[in-house]
């Protein structure tokens, strides 16, 4: 945007006959093109634009006799540098101080009407209203854009924080803390049948030891993918910890739950996770419990866990109901 303003000013001031400002804006345009081509770091670009605008504003006022209102640019950029540089960048406070001192110095040029080209002051006064209004509009537009950008980033950051606090990062499933929170809030709901399943990846430690933790992570991701593809829309899948998962199936009786879990196991058998050309076999053992009272959900999970433990001791790769 700064580059576009400089290019526009080249033609504008050429039309007004203010040739020192034509040269100033042309030089600024060339410097911007070179800098943007050579440097890709966003924070460095923001810092460069900040100091270029301060110098440009001071030079413009020195040429125009302080009549073109580029002080607005400096004040606007003080807000830009605060919001757009990272919080960890402590230099931005120094930058703001430099901007404040520069703003005072530029305002003094306007107060005393000092100009490096006194012969151009008359021309500057002729176009003062237009240029000053244009510079104010540019500054207001920049601040409006910045404030909306900040709000969008703030909302995006809040959404990411909410997601990260409620989900497991590896699998994308809900985490245990979130699940227990929604179950506690649901205790007063009308009691209805539901099923709880606890599943555990068979021989997961052996998979990690044999193929490495990266392969183990891909196995967990594959299990999670199958879980999400198999469950009803209102079901909740949770990574309980390690290689254990809890599935909450509201308004699902035992027979329906068995159908859902068998469908899940069928999908899981089709999953292909390879390590150096060797297919890693993925099976799970599942403990299933059906309940009537959400208030006792922890007891049903405990029972499902006991059934899971029994299944692990008696052959694995099965559903224990």
The reported pTM is 0.63
Residues of the chain with pLDDT > 70: what percent? 98
Long-range contacts of 226-231 (CB under 8 A, 24+ apart): 226/264, 226/267, 226/268, 226/271, 227/173, 227/264, 228/172, 228/173, 229/267, 230/260, 230/261, 230/263, 230/264, 230/267, 231/260, 231/264
Superfamily of domain 174-320: Reverse transcriptase/Diguanylate cyclase domain (3.30.70.270)
pLDDT digits (tens, 9 = 90+) for 95-120: 888 989 999 999 999 888 899 999 99
**pLDDT range class, residue 217, cuts 50, 70, 90:** very high
> In whole angstroms, how far apart are CA 108 and each of 69, 79, 132?
12, 21, 17
Q: Are 282 and 273 contacting, i.e. CB atoms less than 8 angstroms apart?
A: yes
Report H helices in 167-199: 176-185
The pLDDT score that the predictor gives to residue 190 is 60
Q: What is the mean pLDDT of the chain?
A: 90
**pLDDT range class, residue 87, cuts 50, 70, 90:** low
Q: Per-residue pLDDT for 157 more than 90?
A: no
Instruction: Give the residue, 191 or 14, on which the prediction is more confident.
Output: 14
Residue closest to 21 by CA, chosen among 111, 135, 105, 99: 135
Mean pLDDT on 169-178: 92
CA distance 155 to 160: 9
Mean pLDDT on 74-91: 79
Burial 204-220, CB ≥16 within 10 A → b, else e: beebbeebeeebbebbb
Catalytic residues: 243
**pLDDT range class, residue 77, cuts 50, 70, 90:** confident
Strands 319-320 and 174-175: unpaired
Q: Per-residue pLDDT for 174 more than 70?
A: yes
The pLDDT score that the predictor gives to residue 300 is 93
CA distance 250 to 192: 8
6-10, 122-126, 187-191: least confidently modelled range? 187-191
Mean pLDDT on 41-60: 90
> In whole angstroms, how far apart are CA 227 and each of 163, 179, 244?
19, 16, 12
Give the number of other Cβ atoms within 10 Å of residue 81's Cβ.
23
**pLDDT range class, residue 88, cuts 50, 70, 90:** low
Strands, E, within the chain: which ranges? 174-175, 194-201, 236-241, 244-250, 273-275, 278-280, 284-291, 319-320
Burial 32-67, CB ≥16 within 10 A → b, else e: beeeeeeeeeeeebbbbbbebbbebbbbbbbbbbbb
Mean pLDDT on 196-225: 94
The pLDDT score that the predictor gives to residue 221 is 94
- Where along the chain do its domains lie? 2-165, 174-320
The pLDDT score that the predictor gives to residue 187 is 67
Query: Which residues on adjacent β-strands are paired with residue 320?
Result: 287
Q: Per-residue pLDDT for 191 more than 80?
A: no
**What letter does residue 274 receive in the DSSP assignment?**
E
4-8, 146-150, 303-307, 311-315: least confidently modelled range? 146-150
CA distance 63 to 57: 10
pLDDT digits (tens, 9 = 90+) for 175-190: 999 998 888 877 666 6
CA 100 from centre of chain: 32
Report which secondary-structure segment, H or E, holds 112: helix 91-112
């Amino acid at each position: 945007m700064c580059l576009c303003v400089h290019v526009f000013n080249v033609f504008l001031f050429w039309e007004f006959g203010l040739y020192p400002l034509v040269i100033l804006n042309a030089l600024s345009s060339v410097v911007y093109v070179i800098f943007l081509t050579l440097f890709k770091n966003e924070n460095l670009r923001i810092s460069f634009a900040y100091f270029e605008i301060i110098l440009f504003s001071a030079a413009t006022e020195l040429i125009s006799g302080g009549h073109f209102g580029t002080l607005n640019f400096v004040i606007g950029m003080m807000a830009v540098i605060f919001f757009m540089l990272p919080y960890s960048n402590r230099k931005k406070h120094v930058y703001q101080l430099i901007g404040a001192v520069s703003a005072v110095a530029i305002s003094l040029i306007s107060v005393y009407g000092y100009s490096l080209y006194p012969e151009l002051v008359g021309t500057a006064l002729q176009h003062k209203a237009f240029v000053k209004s244009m510079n104010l509009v540019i500054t207001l537009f920049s601040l409006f854009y910045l404030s909306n950008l900040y709000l969008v980033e703030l909302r995006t950051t809040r959404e990411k924080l909410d997601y990260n606090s409620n989900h497991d990062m590896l699998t994308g499933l809900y985490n245990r803390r979130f699940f227990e929170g929604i179950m506690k809030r649901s205790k007063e709901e009308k009691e209805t049948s539901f099923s709880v399943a606890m599943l555990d990846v068979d021989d997961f430690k052996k998979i990690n030891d044999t193929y490495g933790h990266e392969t183990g992570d891909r196995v967990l991701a594959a299990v999670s993918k199958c879980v999400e593809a198999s469950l009803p829309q209102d079901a909740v899948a949770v990574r309980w910890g390690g290689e254990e998962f809890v599935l909450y199936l509201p308004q699902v009786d035992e027979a329906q739950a068995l159908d859902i879990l068998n469908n899940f196991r069928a999908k899981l058998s089709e999953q292909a996770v390879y390590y150096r050309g060797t297919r890693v076999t993925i099976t799970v053992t599942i403990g299933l419990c059906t309940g009537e009272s959400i208030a006792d959900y922890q007891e049903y999970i405990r029972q499902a866990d006991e059934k899971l433990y029994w299944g692990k001791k008696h052959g694995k790769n099965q559903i224990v109901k």
